Amino acid sequence: MKNYFLPLLALLMGAGTARAQVPVLSSYPSASAVMFLDFDGHTVAGTSWNTTGPIYCAPSGLDAAQITTIFNRVAEDYRPFNLNITTDSTKFLAAPVDKRMRVILTPTYQWYGSAGGVAFVNSFIWGDDTPCFVFTGLLNYNVKNIAEATAHESGHTLGLFHQASYNSNCVKTTDYNPGTGTGEIGWAPIMGVGYYQNFTLWNNGPNSFGCTNYQSDLSVITSQNGFGYRTDDYSGTFATASTVNFSNNQFSINGVIEQSTDQDLIRFVQPSYGRFQLSAVPYNVGTGNAGSDLDMQVTLYNGSQTQISVYNPGALLSSVIDTLLNAGSYYLKIEGKGNVYAPNYASLGSYALQASFTEGIPLPLRQLTLQGQLNGDRHQFSWIVDADEAIVSQVLEVSTDGRHFAPVSQSPTSDRSFSYKPFANGSLQYRLNVVFDNDRQYYSNVVRLPNTASAPGPKVISTLTESNTIGVNSPGTFDYMLYDFNGKTLARGVVTAGINTITANSMTNGMYMIRFSKDGQQWTEKIVRQ
């Protein structure tokens, strides 16, 4: 129905910011179908919205860092599909007119009324460039809420109605299913209301037309809009599993779970008896795997394809393996799963694997304890190391999400304390990385400290890159250092106020960290090259 439009509820109104330069971003440039996120203002004329003349939409009121975060969140929601989420108008204009949608993110809402956004159902395929809208001011310029509204309104244009809630008597309780749960795995449908939950997914549930009228979001999206799922990147069988090789006793993999039935099988060969460690992390934009659409389950098999163990922490979206293995072939199976809150339907999206191997049997360590406290605007640490072997290095590491750690300081081996003024990115988690002269490496307990610093630092425009260049939006002059997962420095230099481009020709696919510093403060962000 061409005249059927659906609004999304609004939140509190707040003050906007000045017009910003919009970063040029694309999630899947080769896709012919395009969802264009328009942040810089637009005049709407000659569409089904224009019953009283043109609509003059102001720019979004968001800065480059906010735009990038919104883009990354929305791109991950649509990662399973052969659809390019982009801020590049040229990609939109080059796409077939019946395979494109303009999503206007603007504070201009008065022409419509109080809502988080509004869209015509099925308008993606109309072929007349009727846009949909997200009202940034009514969403208090909050990047999480704007991203949720953007994915929601885009979903309407693809043919989706609301995922509603009903009681046991089949009486509708709300047009917007709010989901359930708390914490990292607290869940809500994208087509319900995702403002208040960390983990938002496509859903198969009753829509607003009745408790027995189930709507399979994935089926609707992929069956009636001229595009389907993206091409599978890894085989799901043992016989055709991709083989990855250790390099310097490590390997890394980036992949995508595209469909509910998708299983990625990865084969590796451990050269000798020793410790195998794996970090399996879904794509995210911050602490608690914020913005992720994938609850990861990893299964380990031996060379005979016999299951060794299943790794899927109940309260986390990521998974960790830390075990002793004999020399030989092994398989990793990566898949998306539901949890105590989220249904086992659309746990889909991108992920990164980082593995390491340590030969032999780790020797016992009697004690490795890290303690930390807040002293004014500084974080102070002390630690105890009780071992027979000599210490070769001890590095204090920091993380904003508890998954990816970056070096803060390498202390002399005789030191047992350290103090510094941290970067201004919320509460931080610390651990001590100690290497002994027998090449054994150990990590201490993790210490979490609040951060009272307030100075703004540089922001990476996109934490996901397909090239050897990294865009940085900086408020001033800062030193930077780019290094890989092992702490090897790939590039260093200085960024200045405005948009900067950093090039590191030695980057291969995997996870990296970039650290900015100025006047004793540090700002660290992770980057994934794929």
| CATH class of the domain defined by 459-529 | mainly beta
In which band, very low, low, confident or very high, does the pLDDT at 452 lie, cut at 50, 70 and 90? Answer: low
Residue with tokens 């293995």: 325
What pLDDT score was predicted for residue 255?
A: 97
Which architecture characterizes domain 367-449 according to CATH? Answer: Sandwich (2.60)
Task: Provide the Cα torsion 178, 108, 14, 424; round to 10°.
Answer: 90
Kindly report the average pLDDT of the chain as a whole number. Answer: 90
* Mean of pLDDT values over 322-333: 94
The CATH classification number of 242-359 equals 2.60.120.380
Residue 221: Cβ-neighbour burial (10 angstroms; 0-12, 13-18, 19+): buried
pLDDT tens digit sequence for 338-367:
999 999 999 999 999 999 999 876 656 778
The CATH classification number of 5-223 equals 3.40.390
A 10 A CB-CB count for 401 gives: 17
Query: Which residues make up the CATH 3.40.390 domain(s) of the chain?
Result: 5-223
HSE of 12, CA atoms in CB hemisphere, 13 A:
3
pLDDT tens digit sequence for 203-249:
999 999 999 999 999 999 999 999 999 999 999 999 999 999 999 99
* Mean of pLDDT values over 481-487: 76
- C-beta separation of 516 from 523 below 8 A: yes
What pLDDT score was predicted for residue 17?
A: 41
pLDDT tens digit sequence for 252-309:
999 999 999 999 999 999 999 998 999 999 999 988 899 999 999 999 999 999 999 9
Query: Which residues make up the CATH 2.60.40.3080 domain(s) of the chain?
Result: 459-529
| 177-191, 234-248, 433-447: the lowest-pLDDT one | 433-447
pLDDT tens digit sequence for 32-52:
999 999 999 999 999 999 999
Helix (H/G/I), strand (E/B), else coil: 429? strand
Nearest Cα to Cα of residue 71 among 39, 30, 117: 39
Query: Which residues make up the CATH 2.60.120.380 domain(s) of the chain?
Result: 242-359
- Residue 473 Cα distances to 147, 459, 482, angstroms: 20, 5, 15
| 28-37, 182-191, 508-517: the lowest-pLDDT one | 508-517
Separation between Cα atoms, residue 421 and residue 519, nearest integer Å: 9
What pLDDT score was predicted for residue 291?
A: 96
Residue 169 pLDDT more than 80? yes
Residue 188 pLDDT more than 90? yes
Instruction: Give exposure, 36-48, as e/b (b: 16+ Cβ within 10 Å).
Output: bbbbbebebeebe
Show the CA angle centred on residue 228, arms to residues 44 and 82, nearest 5°.
Answer: 65
Residue 1 pLDDT more than 50? no
